[in-house]
Amino acid sequence: MNKSSHSGRRQLVVGNWKLNGNRHENAILVRGILAGWQDNLNVDVVLCPSDVYLQQTAELLSARSIFLGAQNVSEFWQGAFTGEVSAQMLADLNCRFVIIGHNERRRLLKETDEQIVQKFIAAQRANLTPILCVGESLQHREQGLQLQVIKSQLDAVFSQTGKECLVNAVLAYEPVWAVGTGVTASPEQASEVHCFIREQLGANADKIRILYGGSVKAHNAAELFAKPDIDGALLGGASLNPEEFVSICKTASLIWQH
Ligand code: PGA
């Protein structure tokens, strides 16, 4: 199975380490990933450690073909905003990507659509590629409102930025009920939403990568990646296990052939 016939979009696998690890454990994790890594893998890979370990991770990765990403960014550019980390600071540390609007930040940290838009704009201003997360709650899914919820999350950004800016962005569909729960959306459920998202993306829709996130593991990655509109994965738990993480990257690489 490969995707050459329908997509010029190279698969992308992003590891979101969240609030886990310490210096020592991160070093073990990165070394574990590099031990299984092959530079000829046909996949883009991003690691998103805590900001305080970005420098360490960059040094350990050295020149390997794995990108660095952040889990969050300030909506402010600079100034008196104690405790914030700006997009230009992340770019200065060689970050190339930043996750924006993750459901844990929307729900637990009460991030608003307005903040998410400002973060998206700040990221692009610093030449970071935003990975914009959208996804419905279990309650919304049970009410059949998933597409409506996703449309409103997307519109909140598009209405201020226009759709042209998406050429330098990645989208991630992460149903809240699937993140960290061990319950994965079926390939059909994910695919339905990915197709819907793509329909919303305007003229450049075919060029934009849409990742799936929510309990993706080595055993279910292949069936998700096989769907034409699923361009890779945003991984939480599976990214903390180096063997599993590399195995998922290899699955993505095998599926996307020239
Ligand atoms: P999970 O997390 O893979 O542990 O479900 C995904 C995410 O939070 O992006």
What pLDDT tens digit does each residue of the chain (258 aa) get? 566 535 689 999 999 999 999 999 999 999 999 999 988 899 999 999 999 999 999 999 987 889 999 999 999 999 999 999 999 999 999 999 999 999 999 999 999 999 999 999 999 999 999 999 999 999 999 999 999 999 999 999 999 998 888 989 999 999 999 999 999 999 999 999 999 999 999 888 999 999 999 999 999 999 999 999 999 999 999 999 999 999 999 999 998 764
Q: Is 49 in the pocket of ligand 1 (CB under 6 A)?
A: no
Measured CA to CA, the distance from residue 205 to residue 87 in angstroms comes to 25
Closest ligand 1 atom to 172 CA: 9
Instruction: State the distance from the centre of ligand 1 to the C-alpha of 78, rounded, in angstroms.
Output: 30
CB of 213 shorter than 6 A to ligand 1: yes
Query: Which residues are bridge partners to 98 per DSSP?
Result: 70, 130
Cβ neighbours of residue 124 under 8 Å, at least 6 residues apart?
130, 165, 168, 169
d(CA 193, CA 24): 39
CA of 185 to the centre of ligand 1 (A): 12
Q: Does residue 193 line the site of ligand 1, with CB under 6 A?
A: no
Mutating to test ligand 1, I would choose from 13, 46, 176, 216 the residue with most ligand atoms within 8 A of its C-beta, which is 216
Q: For ligand 1, is residue 234 a contact (CB within 6 Å)?
A: yes
8 A C-beta contact, residue 234 and residue 211: yes
Determine if ligand 1 sits within 6 Å of the CB of residue 179. Answer: yes
Which CA distances in Å does 9 have to 4, 16, 18, 149, 169? 9, 21, 26, 26, 13
Question: Whose Cα sits closest to atom 6 in ligand 1?
Answer: 236
Q: Out of 102, 104, 194, 244, pick the active-site residue.
A: 102
Type of residue at 57: T
At position 190, the amino acid (one-letter code) is A
CB 229 within 8 A of CB 190: no
239 Cα–ligand 1 center, Å: 9
Sign of torsion, CA 46 48 51 54?
Answer: negative
102 classed as catalytic:
yes
Torsion of CA 224, 230, 231, 236, to 10 degrees: -60
Angle at 213 between CA 19 and CA 243, to 5 degrees: 70
Per-residue DSSP letter, 207: G
pLDDT score at 42? 92
Instruction: Kindly give the residue spans of alpha helices, DSSP state H, lying in the chain.
Output: 23-36, 54-61, 87-92, 103-107, 113-125, 138-142, 146-161, 187-199, 221-225, 242-255
75, 111, 136, 174: the active-site residue: 174
Q: How far is it, in rounded angstroms, from Cα 181 to Cα 172? A: 17
Q: What is the pTM of this model?
A: 0.96
